[in-house]
Structure 1
Amino acid sequence: MPRKLSNALTPLAVKNAKPGRHADGGGLHLLVKESGARSWVYRFMLKGKSRDVGLGAAAGPGAVTLSAARDAADALRMKVKAGIDPLQERQQQAIDALAAAQAAQIAGITFKAVAEAYISANEDSWRNGKHRQQWRNTLSTYVYPVIGLLPVADVDTSHVLQILEPIWKAKPETASRVRGRLETILDAAKARGYRSGENPARWRGHIAQILPARSRLTRGHHKALPYSEVPAFTGSLRQRNATAAHALEFAILTAARTSEVLGAKWSEVDLEKRLWTVPADRMKAGREHRIPLSPRAVEILETLEPLKKSWVFPSDKGGKLSSMAMSMLLRRMKIDVTVHGFRSSFRDWAAECTGYAHEVCEMALAHVIENKAEAAYRRGDMFEKRRRLMVDWANYCARDGAAGAKVSPIRGAAA
C-alpha cells in the first residue's frame, strides 16, 4: 500500500518543480506547465466523481504561498466531508455576484434615462415634430418632477397616481396621454430587463379600478355647427376678405384638418387638375392624401394665387397663418363651434342628405379603415367618387336661401 503523502512539498520544491503535477498530500497539487506557469489545484472526490478546484497562481505577482494553499485545501476538504461541492458553490457565488452587480447597475437606471432613450429610439417614426415635442413636454411637466430621478425598477402604482390624480379631472385629455406614455415607457423598461412584474400604469384591470373613465368626465368634444346652418355661415365668410376667412372656408369645403390647411404649400396644389395633395408627413395617418377641389375651393386659391408665397395661407409676417387665426375668427363672429367641428358637419350632411357610400365619406375625411381585412384589399382612394362628393358639398354650402338661414351665436357673447 503506497505511503499517504502529507506536506510533501517545500517552498524550494515549488520554485524548482519541473512541468507536471506534483502532489503535496490531502488533495493539494502543484501544476507546472511547459511555459513555467505554476498554479495550485485541490482535487476531491464527491459522489464517485473526481474534480479539480483551482486555488490560484503559485508564482508571480499575487502568488498563493504553499502555506496559504494548504489552508485553502484544508477548508475545502471540510466542505467536501459535509457533502458540499466546492465547484458548485463557487459557480453559485459567481452567479450571485453577477446578479448583485446587475442589480446595482439597474438601481442606477432612472425613469428619465429610460424615457429619454425610448424617445430617441422611436421619435423618427412619429409623424411630426409637434408630436415629439408633446412627448417631451408632458414628461418634463408632469412626470419627471415626481419620478424622473427614481430608479425605474422602483416605480409603483402610488407614483403613477401621484402624477395622474392632480390632472385627471382638470385636464382629462392630457392626463390620459400622460398615463399612456407612462405605460409605454415602463413596458420598454421591462423589455430591457430593468424592472419586473405588472405595469403600474396599465389601464385595464388596474388604474381603471381607481380613477374614473374619461367618458365620465368632461371631454374635449369638438363643437360642430349643424349642417343645416353651414350654408349661412359660409355665406357670411364670403363677405370677409381676410386670409383667415379664406382659410376657414377652404377647410370647410375640403373637410380637411386645421393643420393640413394651415400647412398647405403651393407646391402641393395643381389648379389645372383641381387637386391638392397633402404629403404623408403632414397627415395624421401618415399616408399621402389627395383632395379633389371643388370650383369654389379653386376660386379661393385663385384669389390668393397672386400673392404666390410659399404658404397658401400666409400671415402678414410672411410665415404661415397662425394656428389660432381661424379659431379667433370664429370667436369674433360669435359662433360657438370649433374649426375641427366642421368635419363633423360635413360627415353628418353626407350621411343624412346624400347616398354616397360610407367608405367614400370616410376617405374624404382621410380616416383609416378600421377593418384590416377590408383595408388590405382596398388599393384605390375612390378619387372620382370623392370629387363628386366634394362638389356636391360645395354646392350645398352655397345653396340658395343661405342668407335666410340663422347661425347660433355664442351664448352670452358681447354685442
Structure 2
Amino acid sequence: MAKVTAKNIFTLPEGRHSVAPNLNLRVRDGKRTYVLRYCIGGKRKDKHLGSADDLSLTEAKRLADKLRSELAEGKLPQTARDKLAEKLKEADAPTFEQYALEAIEKIATVRVWKNAKHRAQWFATVRAYAFPVLGKKKLSEIKREDVLAVLQPIWSTKTETASRVRGRLENIFSYAVTDGLMEFNPALWRGNLDRDLPPPSKIQVVEHHEAMPLEVLQEKISCFYPADTRTRQVILFTILTASRVGESVPARWDEIDWENRIWSVPPERRKDQKQYPHRVPLSDQAIELLNTVERKGEEIFCLKADDLGSRYSLAHLLQQMTGTTATMHGFRSTFRDWAAENGVPDTVAEKCLMHVTGNAVVQAYQRSDLLEQRREVMQAWADAVFAKLTH
C-alpha cells in the first residue's frame, strides 16, 4: 500500500493507498476516493469522504480528524453531505404506522399467504400493541427502548402474543433497514432484546391441546353417534380422519372420490403449504357417515359462523356434549398415541397427520404419500374408536 502524497495522488495505480491512520485513497475505474475505515459495534465500516477531485489531501486529513473525534465521543461520523441527506430523508420519512401497513402487505405477498385470518392477525396485533407506542414515530427515531416499551407490559402476562408481536416487528424493521430508513433492527432478539427480556419458554409453560384418552373417547363416542346433526357429523368426521378442523369443516363434496374412497384436502387448506392435495383414505365408518349427510350445498357440513360463533369453534360444543375439557385438536394426539402403542411406523403415522417427515434429503427421496399403508391404519383407527359402541 503506497503512501499518498500531493505529488503522486493522481498517478497511483488502482487499489488502496495510505493517506493517514485509517484513511485511504481508493483508486477504482479511474476514480479516486478518500475512505475512512472505522469499527463500530465490532463491525468494520468504510466512510466515503469525497473525491480527490473535490477534496485536497489536506482537507481530507482535516475531515478525517474531525470524524475520528466524533467517533471518540460515541457519535456516528457525518459529512456535510450526510447531514443534508439526513434532513431530506427526515422530511419525507414515513411514520411506523404508515410503513408497517405497507410492509405487512409486502410480506403477505412475498410469503404467498393464502390464509386471510393469518393476515388479519398480523394487522390486528401490530395495531393493538405497537401503534400506541410506535405509530407516530418516524422509523429513524425508533430505538431498542421503544420496542421494549411495546413488549415489556405484556411479556409476562401475554407471552405468546408478545413473542409474536416481537417477531412481526423484526420482520417489518428488516424491510426498513433494507430500504435505508433504519440503520439497525431494534426488534432483533439475539444480542439485543434478550438482554432485558427472559426467554418465553422460561416464563410460560407450553399448554398442549388437551387430548381425550382413547378409552374415554370410546366411551364418549355415543355423544356423536348416531351423527344426526351437522355438529356431530363434523366432529365425528374430524376424529375418523385425524384431521384439523381447518381442513374438515370446509370440506366439499367434490373433494370426495367415492370410487377410491379418498378425501383430497386442497393445497390452500394444507398447513404444510405443499402445492398438491393431501389424500386421506376413508374408512368404512367415514364412508357410512358421509352417506348420512344431507346435501345442502357445495360444502359437506355447511356450517356457518352463526352456528358456532366461529365456524371453527367446535371446542366449546365438544366440551358441552362430552362433559370433558378435551379439544378438537387433541384428537390428533389421541390418534398419534394410539398409533405409537399399536406399532404403526412413525413415518406412516406422521403422514396420516399431514406432518412433514424427515429432513430435506429424506423428503427429496421419499415422495410417496404411502396411501395404501395409511388406508389400513385409518381403518384400524376407526375400528378402535368404535370398539366399545353398543348399538
How many residues align? The count is: 320
**In structure 1, what is the Cα distance between the partners aligned to 2:8 and 2:211?**
86
**In structure 1, what is the Cα distance between the partners aligned to 2:219 and 2:55?**
87
Conserved in 1, the CA contact under 8 Å of 2:245 and 2:312? no
SS at match of 1:87: coil
- Which amino acid counterpart does residue 136 of structure 2 have in structure 1? L
How far did 1:359 drift? 0.9
**In structure 2, what is the Cα distance between the partners aligned to 1:368 and 1:118?**
30
How far did 1:104 drift? 3.0
Residue 360 of structure 2 corresponds to residue 375 of structure 1: no
Moved more, 132-141 or 222-231: 222-231
**In structure 2, what is the Cα distance between the partners aligned to 1:317 and 1:111?**
34
**In structure 1, what is the Cα distance between the partners aligned to 2:358 and 2:140?**
36
Residue 104 of structure 2 corresponds to residue 116 of structure 1: no
Conserved in 2, the CA contact under 8 Å of 1:269 and 1:277? yes
**Partner residue, 1:23:** none
How far did 1:175 drift? 1.3
Matching of residues 15-414 of structure 1 within 5 Å: 47=7, 87-88=54-55, 96=79, 98-107=81-90, 108-124=93-109, 125-197=112-184, 199-216=185-202, 217-239=204-226, 241-287=228-274, 288-304=277-293, 306-315=294-303, 322-333=310-321, 334-352=323-341, 354-399=342-387, 401-402=388-389
Cα distance, 1:345–1:99 mapped onto 2, change above 3 Å: same
SS at match of 1:121: helix
CA-atom RMSD in angstroms:
2.9
Conserved in 1, the CA contact under 8 Å of 2:227 and 2:289? no
Deviations 1:52-96 (A, max 9, x none): xxxxxxxxxxxxxxxxxxxxxxxxxxxxxxxxx78226x999x94
**Partner residue, 1:17:** none
**In structure 1, what is the Cα distance between the partners aligned to 2:313 and 2:228?**
14
Conserved in 2, the CA contact under 8 Å of 1:293 and 1:387? yes
Question: Share of identical aligned residues, percent?
Answer: 36
How far did 1:101 drift? 4.2
TM-score (norm 2): 0.74
How far did 1:379 drift? 1.1
**In structure 1, what is the Cα distance between the partners aligned to 2:84 and 2:238?**
59
Deviations 1:126-149 (A, max 9, x none): 131111111111111111121122
How far did 1:265 drift? 1.3
Conserved in 1, the CA contact under 8 Å of 2:95 and 2:138? yes
Conserved in 2, the CA contact under 8 Å of 1:262 and 1:321? no
Cα distance, 1:156–1:86 mapped onto 2, change above 3 Å: same
Unaligned runs of 5+ in 1: 1-45, 51-84, 404-415
**In structure 2, what is the Cα distance between the partners aligned to 1:106 and 1:316?**
50
SS at match of 1:291: strand
How far did 1:163 drift? 1.1
Moved more, 269-278 or 199-208: 199-208
How far did 1:102 drift? 3.5
SS at match of 1:88: coil
**In structure 2, what is the Cα distance between the partners aligned to 1:49 and 1:118?**
46
Unaligned runs of 5+ in 2: 1-5, 11-51, 64-77
SS at match of 1:127: coil
Cα distance, 1:117–1:398 mapped onto 2, change above 3 Å: same
How far did 1:207 drift? 2.5
Moved more, 244-253 or 156-165: 156-165
Deviations 1:242-263 (A, max 9, x none): 2111101111111111111111
Conserved in 1, the CA contact under 8 Å of 2:209 and 2:330? yes
- Which amino acid counterpart does residue 234 of structure 2 have in structure 1? A
Give the number of the structure whose alpha-carbon radius of gyration is greater.
Answer: 1
**In structure 2, what is the Cα distance between the partners aligned to 1:325 and 1:258?**
9
Cα distance, 1:319–1:339 mapped onto 2, change above 3 Å: closer
**In structure 1, what is the Cα distance between the partners aligned to 2:335 and 2:313?**
21
How far did 1:390 drift? 0.6
SS at match of 2:280: strand
How far did 1:187 drift? 1.6
Conserved in 2, the CA contact under 8 Å of 1:247 and 1:326? no
**In structure 2, what is the Cα distance between the partners aligned to 1:317 and 1:139?**
25
- Which amino acid counterpart does residue 83 of structure 2 have in structure 1? A
Conserved in 2, the CA contact under 8 Å of 1:311 and 1:319? no
**In structure 1, what is the Cα distance between the partners aligned to 2:215 and 2:270?**
29
Conserved in 2, the CA contact under 8 Å of 1:172 and 1:219? no
